[in-house]
């Protein structure tokens, strides 16, 4: 025989699992120390400056 499932409980259990998955993602994204955030920002700025330095000027007459 098939297993009887209480739909209300199944829906709540699924919502809890989704909420936990979202929380895990947020911990990864926002759970960084200030030093880690500053390091990432500095690396991004350095890469941007290097890219800008390699750009050619198209202002030839």
Confirm whether 60 is domain-assigned.
no
13-56: pLDDT as tens digits: 999 999 999 999 999 888 888 999 899 999 999 999 999 998 88
Distances (CA, A) of 28 to 11, 14, 24, 32: 26, 22, 6, 8
Give me the pLDDT at residue 55, please: 86
Give me the pLDDT at residue 16, please: 98
Confirm whether 20 is domain-assigned.
no
Domain range enclosing 32: 28-53
Give me the pLDDT at residue 57, please: 78
φ, ψ (nearest 5 deg) of residue 52: -65, -35
pTM score, whole prediction: 0.48
Q: Which of 47-59 are b and which e, b meaning 16 or more Cβ less than 10 Å from the residue's Cβ?
A: eeeeeeeeeeeee
Confirm whether 17 is domain-assigned.
no
Confirm whether 36 is domain-assigned.
yes
φ, ψ (nearest 5 deg) of residue 3: -80, 135
Q: Hunting for tokens 């750009």 — which residue is that?
A: 55
Overall domain count for the chain: 1
């Amino acid at each position: 025989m098939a297993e009887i499932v209480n739909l209300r409980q199944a829906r709540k259990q699924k919502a809890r699992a989704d909420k936990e998955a979202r929380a895990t993602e947020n911990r990864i994204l926002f759970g960084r120390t200030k030093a880690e955030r500053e390091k990432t920002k500095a690396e991004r700025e350095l890469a941007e400056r290097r890219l800008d330095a390699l750009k050619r000027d198209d202002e030839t007459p």
